[in-house]
Amino acid sequence: MKRFAGLRLLGPYLRPYRGRVALALLSLLVAAGTVLAFGACLRALIDRGFAEGRPDVLNYALASLLVVALVLAIASGGRYYLVSWLGERVVGNLRRDLFAHVLRLGPAWFEIKRSGDVMSRISGDAQLIEQVIGSSASVVLRNTLMCIGGIVMLVITNPKLALYVLAIVPLAVAPIVIFGRKVRGLSREAQARIADLVSEGAETLDAVRTVQAFAQEDHASQRFGITTEHAFRASIRRIGSRATMTTVVIFIVFAAVGFLLWIGGQDVIAGRISAGDLSAFVFYAVLVASSGGAISESIGDLQRASGAAERLAELRDEVPVIAEPAQPRSLPKPTRGAVAFDEVSFRYPTRPDSLALDRFDLSVAPGETVAIVGPSGAGKTTVFNLLLRFYDPESGKVSIDGVDIASLPLAELRRAIAIVPQEPVLFTASVTENIRYGRPEASEAEVKAAAAAASALGFIEALPHGFATHLGARGVRLSGGQRQRLAVARALLCDAPILLLDEATSALDAESELAIQQALDRLMHQRTTLVIAHRLATVQKADRIVVVDGGRVVDVGRHADLVRRGGLYARLAELQFSPPSVAAAS
């Protein structure tokens, strides 16, 4: 049905476990059949055991009831284990695949999406799917089978009373259909508000130091409270609609049971049916009624999960902006590291009206060190973003060793580049795991050598557990300079032919900066190095300095030549190197 179309997402994930699905269905059928067998045992117990006063029949009926109970218990336990296993396994695979897919969507996608919303879908929405597979779906199937079987047994036991039951069924189904659509829509809305709540909370906690530094705890709490209230109201609307549906269905079903008891009681008094027949009929009627009530409740769960599945399907169907090449090429071996930007123009998706790079040209020879300088917003970081192929240019070409990077597999391209970002990112892991992040197969000796080259060995060995010390979320236990040195060590360990340094020494004290600069100097002659620096003192030894402004190269040369020629670089140098009074006067 269209209301449950979103659950089609689960088909490919259930298919590999067809055997377990079949066993679960078999267990469900056996359990439903044994429940139906209770009615026959009950009729024999009353009509032949009690009414006729035969102890042997009474003993036989009791023994039959015990056997039926044992089979029901085993079948129910097996069904519970199998469907719970399937729920956990399917949702685990689904989460894994969705997370892997999201990781490949690229920075452009994350500019317009909140990571909290993504994780809410992968966590919360997927949990609803687990509930459906592990509980709700089997409840609906089991109760549907018992409802159908119960109706069949009602017809066999007393056709006249069964007609009354069949006449009441549409009255019980109608509220499910009427309220079902509304519940499904409200479920999607409630999940969206929960995602907003998670995003708001995660964003605030990630910036907790800033929140506290500006004494905005009350304001942040108030904002989170408002978001929580929106989520609460959306959930209450869903709960209210579902509660109304359940109330109406249960009233109709059990009122019908009372009506049937009244009619059946009249027939027993008149001698048209036996007490055993009426007891069996009442048992089946109650079974049909309770099954109908359980179905009405579980249908709400299915509709809620269908809405969640649609949100997960939307995530799965997001197409990566940066696609792998249809006919991939490879870089020459060994890779020399020549980098070229040829008439490259680019706009960020969130700023379509302004060019970040405008017909940008730059050629870097293998082993050359080129510094890129310019005012904020000139396009320096964009050069790195395009070289790493986080984005594709709208025109022009970026190449390495003469090969267009758009034709390279993304993993091969990025393995050829090591980067030290301006804001180093560390993970909740040990020092060794953080340094080894770009090259997991590196030996302990290589990790230690990279740390030493980055002037990080001293403070690492002073940590409580040395290289095995866990750093906490985002390396919160380290100073800014220490985090930067680990990021440098990580890049050095990659041993890539191209090295990107984005203010790599900006967070270091003078002594550490000197030590790292000496280590970088030893490495730069072996690999192509692009350096972004606002502090011009760090780039004076570069082979060339490229001055960028407005997304274009406006000047190229050595430090002394650029200062002598005047222009933008000379003004930047004067602001940084002149005494404060001179800079203010200029």
Q: Is residue 325 part of a domain?
A: no
Please say if the pLDDT value at position 91 is more than 50: yes
Please say if the pLDDT value at position 8 is more than 80: no
Mean pLDDT of 163-181: 71
> Do 401 and 440 fall within a single domain?
no
Ranges 116-125, 164-173, 437-446: which has the least confidence: 164-173
Number of domains in the chain: 3
pLDDT for residue 585 is more than 70: no
Query: Please, which pLDDT band fits residue 583 given cuts at 50, 70 and 90?
Result: very low
pTM as predicted: 0.69
**Rounded mean pLDDT of 292-308?**
72
Do 76 and 153 sit in the same domain of this protein?
Answer: yes
**441 vs 108, more confident:** 441
| C-alpha to C-alpha distance for 54 and 46, rounded to whole angstroms | 10
Look at residue 516 and tell me whether its pLDDT is greater than 80: no
Amino acid at 68: V
| Average pLDDT of the residues in 58-77 | 80
182 and 269 inside one domain: yes
**Residue 370 covered by a domain:** yes
When mean pLDDT is compared across 295-304, 494-503, 560-569, the lowest value belongs to 295-304
pLDDT tens-digit profile of 248-269?
777 877 777 777 777 777 777 7
569 vs 358: which has the higher pLDDT: 358
Q: Does the pLDDT value for residue 310 go beyond 90? A: no
Task: Please indicate whether residue 244 or residue 399 has the higher confidence score (pLDDT).
Answer: 399
Does residue 491 sit in the same domain as residue 524?
A: no
Residue 559 has pLDDT above 50, yes or no: yes
* Arithmetic mean of pLDDT, 287-309: 73
Which domain CATH number covers 489? 3.40.50.300
Question: Which 8-state DSSP code applies to residue 389?
Answer: T
User: Which residue, 270, 288, 316, sits at the end of a domain?
Assistant: 316
Is-contact 21 323, C-beta < 8 A?
no
Q: Assign 507 a pLDDT band (cuts: 50, 70, 90).
A: low
Q: Is 134 in the same domain as 256?
A: yes
- Among the listed residues 553, 150, 130, 90, the one whose alpha carbon sits nearest the alpha carbon of residue 357: 553
Among candidate residues 386, 368, 284, the one with its CA nearest the CA of residue 558 = 368
Closest alpha carbon to 547 in 379, 386, 406, 387: 379
Partners of 545 in the beta sheet? 371, 557
Could you report the per-residue pLDDT of 314-365, keeping only the tens digit for each?
888 888 878 888 888 999 888 888 999 999 999 988 788 888 998 999 999 9
Q: Which of 443, 461, 495 is the last residue of a domain?
A: 495
Which DSSP category does 345 fall into? E
Helix 510-524 to helix 444-453 angle (10° resolution) is 120
Q: What is the mean pLDDT of the chain?
A: 79
Distance (Å, rounded) from C-alpha 37 to C-alpha 64? 9
Domain that holds residue 435: 423-495
Residues 428 and 476 in one domain: yes
Q: Which residue has the higher pLDDT, 181 or 544?
A: 544
Among the ranges 96-105, 259-268, 570-579, which has the highest mean pLDDT value? 96-105
Claim to verify: residue 47 and residue 172 sit in the same structural domain: yes
What confidence score (pLDDT) does residue 34 get? 81
For the stretch 386-444, pLDDT in tens is 999 988 999 999 999 999 999 999 889 988 998 888 778 888 788 899 888 888 888 89
Instruction: Confirm whether 473 is domain-assigned.
Output: yes
Nearest-5° angle of CA 565, CA 344, CA 355?
85
Is 283 inside any structural domain?
yes
The model's confidence at residue 311, banded by pLDDT at 50, 70 and 90, is: confident
pLDDT at 541: 77
